[in-house]
Structure 1
Amino acid sequence: MRWLSFLLVLTFSLQAQSARLLILGDSLSAGYQMSANQAWPSLLPQALQKYNHPMTVINASISGDTTGNGLARLPKLLQQHTPDYVLIELGANDGLRGFSPQIPERNLARIIDLIAQSGARPILMQIRIPPNYGQRYSKAFSTIYSKLSEQKQIPLIPFFLEQVILRPEWMKSDGLHPNEHAQSWIAAWIAQQLTPLLEPTPS
């Protein structure tokens, strides 16, 4: 009984120390055409543990989501999960559908504000779209993220796909989505990007 009590206390203690990270994303984070446990968000807690950052990761990503979809879902997610951090990986589908850049910019600004108002810390991921959409549109789209990062004074981390796409064996045949072989690398890379932005773990 004493050992059982000790283990229960230890479990609750570890849970109390573990921060909560909500990932608000699209198919790049949802694990497109693979099981959820293969996708990089499922591998992220172990990758963060190497940096002494125990983390509960809630993957709220849905394939096909636009910034508008993410904004609509966000209030309920914040209330349900009460995260400490929210990683925003949205915008690719807005770009692929040719939305005016003002639309994702407005939606992302509102997403950031809602996260901050909830007491969580927003972290924005840079998103870029394929160059075949035209240089003018691609540039206008990509600058949304640096602009919001500066305006809202929040961290901006690089777009992981820019590294993955250099390895054809890590990409699906559609040329847009990483396959299962890329997921552990993405998790390790995201952990490396997030670590400087996380609060020190209580000793």
Structure 2
Amino acid sequence: MGSVMKDGWARYGARRGFLRHCSVLALAAAAQGAWCAAPARTIVVLGDSLSAEYGLARGSGWVALMERKLADEKLPASVVNASISGDTSSGGRSRLPALLKAHKPSHLVIELGGNDALRGLPLAMTRDNLQAMARAGKAAGAKVLIVGMQVPPNYGARYTQDFAALFESVARAEGAALVPFLLAGVTDGPQPERLFQPDRIHPTAEAHPRMLANVWPVLKPWVR
């Protein structure tokens, strides 16, 4: 009787161990399945010529460089470059609803406002457009990154200061991430004329890695 009971308990213990092993494997498989089924990141970049590779070979602009950097850092994300040369904040605002509907981005990068300044448009209008785009992105479930711009001092000290400050004020008000100045180290670096195309407005391909370097420290943890 004792040996029968001992043998029975041994079989029972082995069965429990087997079931525990199966349970662990099932949980691991479920976790792996959940990881694989996690929603992919989609980054929409809504910008102007600085992001649209104006005057550059395709694939040499900072947005394309960012896409490759994401892959190198093993941060899987699809990037939609919805930038148009010459676009203003009003143009971006009008295009954004269709982009949100079509791509359902998890992250929205807004790089607009520079052409507003070039056209002398009211700062209040630029601020309102940026704020509306940030709110639309958040309402669609996307995290928002505002990329700031600055203008040369010949616009006047007051306008120059107020223009640079509006990007920060919108980002703070809307809880968005912020890159203060996309062209830092380009316009104010040594021999800046070497980093611009003959029009003296659009950066050369040599400048775009520097532009990405301004964005990446903010973008990497933001996407992660």
Kept in 1: contact 2:185–2:210 (CA 8 A): no
1:156 counterpart SS class: strand
1:29 matched to which residue of 2? Answer: 51
Q: For residue 88 of structure 1, what is the amino acid of its counterpart?
A: I
2:181 counterpart SS class: coil
1:76 matched to which residue of 2? Answer: 98
Query: Pairwise CA RMSD of aligned residues?
Result: 1.9
2:87 matched to which residue of 1? Answer: 65
- Offset from partner CA, 1:96-130 (integer Å, 9 cap, x none): 11111101001111101110111111110111111
2:185 counterpart SS class: helix
Taking the TM superposition and a 5 Å limit, the aligned residue runs for 1:118-137 are 118-137=140-159
157-166 or 74-83: bigger deviation: 157-166
Query: Which of the two has higher C-alpha Rg?
Result: 2
1:42 matched to which residue of 2? Answer: 64
Taking the TM superposition and a 5 Å limit, the aligned residue runs for 1:1-203 are 18-165=40-187, 166=189, 167-199=192-224
Question: 1:191/1:54 Cα in 2 relative to 1: closer, same or farther (>3 Å)?
Answer: farther
Q: For residue 217 of structure 2, what is the amino acid of its counterpart?
A: Q
Q: For residue 182 of structure 1, what is the amino acid of its counterpart?
A: A
**Cα separation, 2, equivalents of 1:159 and 1:196:** 18
**Cα separation, 2, equivalents of 1:83 and 1:96:** 29
Question: 1:186/1:16 Cα in 2 relative to 1: closer, same or farther (>3 Å)?
Answer: farther
**Cα separation, 1, equivalents of 2:59 and 2:204:** 13
190-199 or 152-161: bigger deviation: 190-199
The answer for unaligned runs of 5 or more in structure 2 is 1-34
**Cα separation, 1, equivalents of 2:207 and 2:140:** 33
Q: For residue 183 of structure 1, what is the amino acid of its counterpart?
A: H
187-196 or 109-118: bigger deviation: 187-196
Kept in 1: contact 2:107–2:144 (CA 8 A): yes
Q: Please give the TM-score of this superposition, normalised by the length of structure 1.
A: 0.84
Question: 1:14/1:34 Cα in 2 relative to 1: closer, same or farther (>3 Å)?
Answer: farther
Question: 1:73/1:15 Cα in 2 relative to 1: closer, same or farther (>3 Å)?
Answer: farther
Q: Please give the TM-score of this superposition, normalised by the length of structure 2.
A: 0.77
Q: For residue 187 of structure 1, what is the amino acid of its counterpart?
A: L
Structure 1 vs Structure 2: percent identity of aligned residues? 34
User: Greater RCO between the two (CA within 8 Å, min separation 6)?
Assistant: 1
**Cα separation, 2, equivalents of 1:25 and 1:93:** 10
**Cα separation, 1, equivalents of 2:86 and 2:36:** 35
Kept in 2: contact 1:171–1:178 (CA 8 A): yes
1:10 matched to which residue of 2? Answer: none
